[in-house]
Structure 1
Amino acid sequence: GSVVRNGRGFRRISAAQLAWPFKQSRARKLLAELSHHKATLLLAISGDISHDLKDIQSALSHLSDVVSDSDKREIFRWLEKTNPSSLQTTTFRKHEPHTSTWMLRLPEWENWLSGKHPDRSLWIHGPPGTGKTVLASFLIEQIQHHCDHSPSGSRMGCAYYYCHYSHDQDECGPFLSWTLSQAGRQTRYLPGRLKRMYDRGCEPSIPELESALELVLEQLDVLYVVVDAIDESNPRSELVNLIATLVLDTRFRKIRILTTSRPYFEIERVFGAIFGSVVSMSNAAVKTDIRKMVNSRLASSYRLRRWRDEHQRIEDLLVAKSDGMFQWAELQLRKIERLRDISQLEETLQNLPVDLAETYTRILSAISPQDREYVRRVLIWVIGHSKAAWLTSNGINAELLVSAADYDLYGNRKESSSNEIDRSFDVEHLRELCDCLLTFKCVSSEEPDDGSMTSSTATLVDDAGVGSTLSKKTVYRVSVSHYTVVEFLESSYILSNPSVSYFSLSQGVIRYEFATSVFRQAIEANPDFDGTSPTDWETDREAYCLTLGCTLGIWQLDMFEPDVEFSEADHLAELALQYYSPSNPHFSRFRGIQRRIATDPRASDSFYLASLPSRFDDLIVEDESILQADYSSAKTLLCILSVPTTYTHGKFIRRCVQRLLKSCGRDYDELMNTRVSGYRTVGGSHVDWDEDESQYGVAGFEDDGQIEYYEQAFEGTVRECRFP
């Protein structure tokens, strides 16, 4: 045996005890327990790992949805297809101090703004010319002040949107997109799904915009939304239904919405049933505001001061006969400003027109016969510009407008002979003729006349009145003074009056004559031999027409109303073929303008001109008498097919193609299989110039060496080279 020492001495251990201490059954039991614990531990570890992986995946998913500030800005700009901010600026400047305050005293307003009442919707309606839009601009300022001065920690947001006849669109998408961008900017939150749509280049649908807005609303306690002129959406029924959804759907319970419109039946039928509060503009308070406006104008206008002794009488008469219409009172004041003596004033006050229709009839009747054609051309250009696919709704540059209307009437005739009388007009003369029909907004000479929605603009009102000297350094932008002017020109009323029927302008006639003028002036533009021709489409008449031409097909000119005859649409297709033909001298101008489009931050997808080839290479052919005509037609076909085709103007493009095939005597497949080669101008800030220099022709660089644009080579059949 062995002896082992312990704390109390020695103890003898037998040999049996030094052997394996466990019996077989005991060992098996312990091994089974170890195996069980091992499985339990492995299961626990596996669960922890799985949980950690899920956490990592969740974190990665969250990171993928995290949007940088720069990306947010880009996505917000992407959403802002129609920016109404300049309309708010311009409209609020028309607001007369101390007017519209009657609205603030109404319980309907107080309940809506405070949120103390469960009804979160307010509808303001009234006839045309009653000042609904100016009132809306005033209320928007009040809401913004309310949000800015709310208690710390309260999460309030404000968004507004102006529908406008010149947009000529269904306002649902633009309204929701703008509201979403404004709410997102104010909360600094943008849903990840919106970024994924942006990354895929997808245009968000109405349901997708609604879902994104629902997520943004989680960041707010209340979002005030003001929508002006619901009735000017085209069609209006879609927007009415969307507003009803925002009012009734609990997903949008945090939205408090205020709308304005005319009291049309289809709007009243819906809003009257679901809106919690309704306010009519036909009330005594509106007349009080008209009195304040008239009083202010009488006191401030240099020309109206002459009738100081008659001020009270003028004020009383205009208020009494205005029938609540600010526009009517404003037009009468403008007429009185032009009067020369007291006898004319007396006659005018005793013979005031009864409504806006009679007012516009008198304005147009007073235009002298020698000026009528010019005024008609001006109206076509102003309205045509406002309805065209363009960067801005700020109006058309006044100098460009004068030049375009002048060219329509006289072309280059006034320059062709030194003995010919110069009958050209200027901006001052334009204001004299059209002051009551058009609004002139001035842009400070210190700011670029970029036509963008952020330009500083103001309605031109001066003490000197019509005929005052205009600063040569100031840029003016021109638009229709009020929607009712366009409505009058398009109405059946004007046709029934022989004295003014010459000015009747249906939508189809405006579109046809404006498009014809734009195409003709583009085709007749001076060629660019040395790369120095003007490229600013905002100020230069030729650059404007060259740039806008590619967008004219979206007007559905051969589908629009019966007042555009087949022969007229066919004539327009012929002009379009000349516009797209690279063999015509004006085509050389496109290259410089395309470079500007590629590099100008104000450029937009509406400039379809950017899709056209910038230039073609000459192909060497064995028998030019046989192939050269086909090659020229093939180049024209490539240009036509390079314009992004949508449903809205696909039919017009097909008409152009059919006319091209008829003129060259070839079928479609023959031209599609003709080989062409050349270059396209592409915005190149994202391109590594060293990647493959062989595919590039010319590149433009910034001072730091970054590429602003490049010309990408193409070669192949028309079918292979057309814009995808």
Structure 2
Amino acid sequence: IALQRADRFRRITNWLSPPDPWINHESARQRHEPQTGTWLLSCDAYLNWKSASGSHLWMYGKAGCGKTLLCSTATEDVKAHCENAANAGYVVFYFSFSDDRKQHYEDLLLSLVIQLGWKEPGLSMLQQAYEKPNQNKPGQDDLEKILFSCIGSYDELFVILDALDECPEDSDVRQNMLAWLARLKQRAPQVKILATSRELPDIRASMVVIDAVPLSIATHSVDADIRRYTAMQLSRDHRLSRLDQTTKVLIEETISVKADGMFRWAYCQLQELKKLKSTRPRFVKEALYSLPTTLDETYERILIGIEEGLRIDALVLLRWLAYAKSPLSLSELVDATVIDLAGKGNVQVEDRPGLDDPLEILSGLVTIVGSERNEDDLDYVEGVRQDASGSENEKTELTRPRQQIAGATKVKLAHFSVKEYLESKRILESSAKDFHLENTREHRMLSQSCLVYLMHYSSCDEKLSTKQDLIRFPLLRYAAESWFYHSALQGDVQPTRETDLLCAKATLRDWLQVCQPDRTWEKGFGYLGEIGSSLYYASFLGLEQVVGKLLSTRADVHAQGGQYGNALQAASFGGHEKVVQMLMDAGADVHAQGGQFGNALQAASSEGHEKVVQMLIDAGAGVHAQGGHFDNALHAASFRGYKKVVQMLIDAGADAHAQGGYFGNALQAASSGGHEKVVQM
């Protein structure tokens, strides 16, 4: 029975694919030195939080003061506590500026649900969601319901959240997460929240709402940790360890005093000392006397210290590290540096640098972390072991990137403050101004780089059109899965390469072999379903500029194909209001049948897109139209629990008593979905 439960939970975890916070935790523990952070464990505020019922703690401090390290220390302490306590549990989540899957409220919910869902009642609720007829992943409301049920099975639950400030402010992303903290305090008195962040007004206000005790990370406490950390680094480094004791003491004292409570600053200075070409005491002293006083100055020195001939590569790498959706492997970064955007674009494969070059070029600005393993990656890596043909040299070349793609190594910017400096106006007033990054421009560069890489792959005689291509072309998966993400953020520019990719049949097919955005359950080089039109994919992805260009060239708005049948249904499913309006203005038929949901109204209703539902109703879409996955729009909205959409459809004349479809009627659809409020309507 235990094995069956474990297998069931593994399948559910793979289905939900939650972000893994333990990667961030292990990365922090690897940077942790023994005895550092122990002051926290004896601090009255921390001890009271751990022992008092329903208490909450907010640790705040300036950038680079070691908040994540302290959070990891608290996590280890709480783990030990829970092992010796009856019915006590803990969950953790590390928000991360460098990973798009660790920035949003839903990412947090997914992770916490899986951390707690291995026992009842969580496991049964997850199994029920997994076995639903449409097998759509649970939405935000469903995840909250499951999470609160899981929490209820504990007498005491520690919730540890690091870097709340790395949850983005835009689009109410952070506000949604902070509002949840208030609900958590209100509904789950057994929960104890520990959160870390910089001191920002919205976060402070939220901490007041949940009555969290504020704990400022004192400079003097961190300074003692910095001294210990510095001493350990001096004893471990093969060059600095040979310094005489007097010089070592001078380094410890200078760095701990000048750090002013900034672990990040101390780390950077030690990295620079390790690079000294000579460790003669007088050279070390000169370096210590000229240390930069701030993180800004530190980053400026690192950047202008990059060799002139490597600065273009450095800028390219920084761009990818700052704006990629998720951390990239060394092999992916290496391929990113050989993409030439001039003219039609080219990938200069013969000029690939070594795998370690990114780490050497950006020493002090980047860090290596583990990666979340992808079971499909491991499958095809095993296939390469068995099937790769050719010379031993060719097999060796496959082995090197294989290790990266299989999840051994990912690279990210070492700290949030690095990206903040690169984007700031301050860098424009410094000697490092050539490294300034601007959000829209950089997304444009990344989108175009991904598209050039895909076109290079499509035209390459060496491609095998099998999973082995994901090894031979290291950036292929990222480019295929992310070009449209960056395109949507690149501003008002002519989408020439986007339309080139979508309108060329061979290139379109090669892209879809790697990534089918409308069939995310199909992994790379699996079953290739019915291919839609170029307008269909642009509409599904919500690429307004591309849709506009295609419509201006008289693209067929009625063309059938793809998982959702036609462009209007695809755009409606995605909730892309502007695209829906553009398509209707171009003559798209709101009554058109076909695709997974039968019609556009059912597609929009199934995802709760209220504005699109209203647009379609206003355009005359039939609320009684039959067909598709849920048989009609009302059944779709009822099953998914979208109360407002249900009311909109009823107001438009939908018959709540109509019989038919998988569920029989709307009441049974709502009951099957477990939505009491919709049932009561």
Question: Is the pair's TM-score, using the shorter chain for normalization, greater than 0.5?
Answer: yes
* 2:67 aligned partner: 132
2:184 to 242, 246, 261: 246
Select between 336-345 and 156-165 the one with higher mean Cα deviation: 336-345
Question: CA offset at residue 243 of structure 1?
Answer: 1.5
How many Å separate the matches in 2 of 1:363 and 1:353? Answer: 11
Amino acid at match of 2:497: L
How many Å separate the matches in 2 of 1:344 and 1:449? Answer: 49
Question: CA offset at residue 68 of structure 1?
Answer: 6.6
* 2:502 aligned partner: 580
**Given the superposition, is the C-alpha separation of residues 124 and 109 from structure 1 closer, same or farther in structure 2, using an over 3 Å criterion?**
same
- Contact 2:95–2:161 at 8 Å: present in 1 too? yes
How many Å separate the matches in 1 of 2:471 and 2:358? Answer: 17
2:229 to 293, 297, 301: 293
* 2:261 aligned partner: 324
Q: State the Cα deviation string for residues 191-231 of structure 1 (Å, max 9, x = none).
A: 54882486154554545433333322332111111011111
Q: 1:388-407 residue pairs with structure 2 within 5 A?
A: 388=325, 393=326, 395-407=327-339
Task: Find out whether 1:369 has 2:308 as its counterpart.
Answer: yes
Number of aligned pairs?
534
- Contact 1:229–1:259 at 8 Å: present in 2 too? yes
Task: Find out whether 1:505 has 2:437 as its counterpart.
Answer: yes
How many Å separate the matches in 1 of 2:425 and 2:468? Answer: 39
- Contact 1:223–1:256 at 8 Å: present in 2 too? yes
How many Å separate the matches in 2 of 1:255 and 1:675? Answer: 51
Question: CA offset at residue 163 of structure 1?
Answer: 0.9
* 2:668 aligned partner: none
Question: CA offset at residue 268 of structure 1?
Answer: 1.5
Q: 1:26-175 residue pairs with structure 2 within 5 A?
A: 70-114=7-51, 117-150=52-85, 154-168=86-100, 171-175=104-108
Question: CA offset at residue 73 of structure 1?
Answer: 4.1
Question: CA offset at residue 262 of structure 1?
Answer: 0.6
Task: Find out whether 1:275 has 2:211 as its counterpart.
Answer: yes
* 2:361 aligned partner: 433
How many Å separate the matches in 2 of 1:323 and 1:537? Answer: 50
Task: Find out whether 1:482 has 2:403 as its counterpart.
Answer: no
**Given the superposition, is the C-alpha separation of residues 229 and 547 from structure 1 closer, same or farther in structure 2, using an over 3 Å criterion?**
closer
SS in 2 for 1:123: strand
Task: Find out whether 1:352 has 2:291 as its counterpart.
Answer: yes
How many Å separate the matches in 2 of 1:593 and 1:381? Answer: 21
How many Å separate the matches in 2 of 1:635 and 1:380? Answer: 32
Question: CA offset at residue 327 of structure 1?
Answer: 0.7
Question: CA offset at residue 302 of structure 1?
Answer: 0.9
Question: CA offset at residue 352 of structure 1?
Answer: 0.8
Q: 1:194-593 residue pairs with structure 2 within 5 A?
A: 195-196=128-129, 199=132, 200-202=134-136, 204-235=138-169, 236-247=174-185, 249=186, 251-272=187-208, 274-309=210-245, 310-341=247-278, 342=280, 343-385=282-324, 388=325, 393=326, 395-408=327-340, 424-441=352-369, 475=404, 476-497=409-430, 499-527=431-459, 532-533=464-465, 535=467, 539-541=471-473, 544-545=475-476, 548-555=479-486, 557=488, 560=489, 566=492, 569-570=493-494, 573-583=495-505, 585-587=506-508, 589-590=510-511, 592-593=513-514
Question: CA offset at residue 170 of structure 1?
Answer: 5.6
How many Å separate the matches in 1 of 2:522 and 2:427? Answer: 34
When Rg is computed on C-alpha atoms for both structures, the one with the higher figure is 1
Root mean square deviation, CA, Å: 3.9
SS in 1 for 2:98: helix
**Given the superposition, is the C-alpha separation of residues 547 and 294 from structure 1 closer, same or farther in structure 2, using an over 3 Å criterion?**
closer
Q: 1:529-678 residue pairs with structure 2 within 5 A?
A: 532-533=464-465, 535=467, 539-541=471-473, 544-545=475-476, 548-555=479-486, 557=488, 560=489, 566=492, 569-570=493-494, 573-583=495-505, 585-587=506-508, 589-590=510-511, 592-593=513-514, 635-641=533-539, 643=540, 645=541, 650=542, 652=543, 654-662=544-552, 664=553, 666=554, 668=555, 671-673=556-558
Identity of aligned residues (%): 24
Amino acid at match of 2:535: L
How many Å separate the matches in 2 of 1:546 and 1:722? Answer: 27
- Contact 1:398–1:427 at 8 Å: present in 2 too? yes
- Contact 2:49–2:55 at 8 Å: present in 1 too? yes
How many Å separate the matches in 2 of 1:545 and 1:432? Answer: 24
The structure carrying a bigger strand percent of its residues is 1
Amino acid at match of 1:156: A
Question: CA offset at residue 588 of structure 1?
Answer: 5.2
Question: CA offset at residue 69 of structure 1?
Answer: 6.1
Question: CA offset at residue 70 of structure 1?
Answer: 4.8
- Contact 1:590–1:614 at 8 Å: present in 2 too? no
**Given the superposition, is the C-alpha separation of residues 676 and 380 from structure 1 closer, same or farther in structure 2, using an over 3 Å criterion?**
same
Q: State the Cα deviation string for residues 50-94 of structure 1 (Å, max 9, x = none).
A: xxxxxxxxxxxxxxxxx9765544444445532212111222111
SS in 2 for 1:524: helix
**Given the superposition, is the C-alpha separation of residues 545 and 299 from structure 1 closer, same or farther in structure 2, using an over 3 Å criterion?**
same
SS in 2 for 1:224: strand
**Given the superposition, is the C-alpha separation of residues 479 and 604 from structure 1 closer, same or farther in structure 2, using an over 3 Å criterion?**
farther
How many Å separate the matches in 1 of 2:520 and 2:81? Answer: 35
Q: State the Cα deviation string for residues 345-388 of structure 1 (Å, max 9, x = none).
A: 23211111111111001111112222111110111122232xx2
Q: State the Cα deviation string for residues 157-212 of structure 1 (Å, max 9, x = none).
A: 11111111134476322212322221221556435488248615455454543333
How many Å separate the matches in 2 of 1:203 and 1:442? Answer: 26
How many Å separate the matches in 2 of 1:637 and 1:354? Answer: 54
TM-score (norm 1): 0.66
SS in 2 for 1:124: strand
Question: CA offset at residue 281 of structure 1?
Answer: 1.1
- Contact 1:157–1:224 at 8 Å: present in 2 too? yes
SS in 2 for 1:165: coil
- Contact 1:126–1:262 at 8 Å: present in 2 too? yes
How many Å separate the matches in 2 of 1:538 and 1:531? Answer: 10
Segments of structure 2 that go 5 or more residues without pairing to the other structure are 381-398, 566-591, 598-681
Q: State the Cα deviation string for residues 453-485 of structure 1 (Å, max 9, x = none).
A: xxxxxxxxxxxxxxxxxx969644221111111
How many Å separate the matches in 2 of 1:232 and 1:313? Answer: 36
- Contact 2:87–2:154 at 8 Å: present in 1 too? yes
How many Å separate the matches in 2 of 1:530 and 1:431? Answer: 29
* 2:387 aligned partner: none
SS in 2 for 1:225: strand
Q: State the Cα deviation string for residues 247-283 of structure 1 (Å, max 9, x = none).
A: 2x0x201111111111112212331464343221124
